Structure 1
Amino acid sequence: MSTEETTVGEMLTASVPMVRTLGIEYLETTAEHAVLSLPDRPEYQNHVGGPHAGAMFTLAESASGAVVLAAFGDQLARAVPLPVSTQMSFKKVARGPLTASATLGRPVADVIAELDAGTRPEFPVAVEIRREDGAVTSEMSVVWTLRPHG
C-alpha cells in the first residue's frame, strides 16, 4: 500500500465516524479502484445472521467515496465531491466478513475537463460486495458530482 493509499483511508476513517464505528478497513485505494472490508460483528447482524443492510450500504458507499477521493482529491480546493444518487441490489444472503470493490466509471481526465469547462460533472461508480467465498451479495451504483465552490 502506498503512502497516498494510506492517506485516503486514514482521512476517510478520521472524517467519517460511521467508518470507525463499523470497523471498515481500506485495503486498496487508487484513482480507478478501491477495496474495503467490513468485519463480521454480531452487534451489526440482522435477523438472518448477516450484516444489516445499513452496514452493507455504508461499506459500499464508503468504497465509492474512497475511489472518488483518490481520483479527485487534488480538486478539493475548487470542488466538493457529493453523491447525487444511489441504487443498491441484494443478490445473495451476506454472512461473515465482506469486501466491497468500487470502480470509477469514467476516465478522470474527462471529468476534470468538464470541471475545467465550468460545468458540474457527474460520473458513476460501480460497487460489488462479496462474501469470503467470492459470491457477490450485493451491487451498488452511485452517481457522484464535483460541485464547484462558490
Structure 2
Amino acid sequence: MAKSNRLSSVVSKVNKLPEGLRPWALSKVMGKVIPFAGTSGTRVEKLTPQECVIVMRNKKKVQNHIGSVHAAAMGLLAESATGFMCGMSVPDDRIIVIRSMELEYLKRASGDMTAVASFSDEQLAYVKNTEKGDIQVPVKITDATGTETVKATMIWAWTPKKK
C-alpha cells in the first residue's frame, strides 16, 4: 500500500476550488514549494498525480536575445512539469531529486510556452510503491501556435529519507 504524501493532499484541496481559481492557487502553492518556479512566473494549469500542464508566458524576464522564451527557461518548464507530478507521487518518507535532463530544441519558439507531462497507471504505481528508484518522464513543450518546439526527458530519482 502506498504511503501518504502531503503535497498531494494540498493539491487535492486546491483542485476542489472553482475551476477559474485553480490555476492561480496551484501556481501560488507550487511557487512556494519551488521558489525558482514562482520567480519565473510559471502558471500551473493542471496538476494531478498523472498529468501536469504548466504555461510560461513570454515575458521579458524569461526571454533570450531574440525575444522568445530562453532555452534555460524551457528547461525549468520541463523540470517543473515532471517534478511537480513526481513530487505528488513519491511518499513523504522519501526524498526526490532530478538525476538527468535531456532537451532537444526542435524549432524556434513563438509566444507563450506550454509543457505537458504525464504518467501511465503503471508508472504512477511504480513511483508510489518503489522504495528507491528512478523514472524517465517525457514532457512535450509547445509554443503559442501549438507547434512542438522542445522534446524533453527528465529522469527523477528517489531514496528513503535518512532517519
CA–CA distance in structure 1, aligned partners of residues 124 and 12 of structure 2: 20
After TM superposition, the structure 1 = structure 2 runs for residues 68-79 of structure 1, keeping only pairs within 5 Å, are 68-72=86-90, 75-76=91-92, 78-79=93-94
**Alpha-carbon offset, residue 50 of structure 1:** 0.7
Percent identity of equivalent pairs: 25
**Structure-2-length-normalised TM-score:** 0.78
Kept in 2: contact 1:38–1:97 (CA 8 A): yes
CA RMSD of aligned residues (A): 2.1
**Alpha-carbon offset, residue 2 of structure 1:** 5.4
**Alpha-carbon offset, residue 60 of structure 1:** 1.0
Does residue 147 (structure 1) correspond to residue 159 (structure 2)? The answer is: yes
Structure 2, unaligned stretches of length 5 or more? 1-10, 16-21
What residue identity is the alignment partner of 2:50? Answer: E
Does residue 122 (structure 1) correspond to residue 137 (structure 2)? The answer is: no
What residue identity is the alignment partner of 2:102? Answer: Q
CA–CA distance in structure 2, aligned partners of residues 43 and 13 of structure 1: 16
Cα distance, 1:8–1:70 mapped onto 2, change above 3 Å: farther
After TM superposition, the structure 1 = structure 2 runs for residues 35-114 of structure 1, keeping only pairs within 5 Å, are 35-72=53-90, 75-76=91-92, 78-104=93-119, 106-114=122-130
Kept in 1: contact 2:103–2:150 (CA 8 A): yes
Structure 1, unaligned stretches of length 5 or more? none
Cα distance, 1:95–1:141 mapped onto 2, change above 3 Å: same
CA–CA distance in structure 1, aligned partners of residues 133 and 61 of structure 2: 39
Residue 32 (structure 2) aligned to one of 14, 21, 25:
14
Residue in 1 aligned with 2:52? 34
Q: Secondary structure at the match of 1:14?
A: helix
CA–CA distance in structure 2, aligned partners of residues 91 and 53 of structure 1: 11
Cα distance, 1:30–1:46 mapped onto 2, change above 3 Å: same
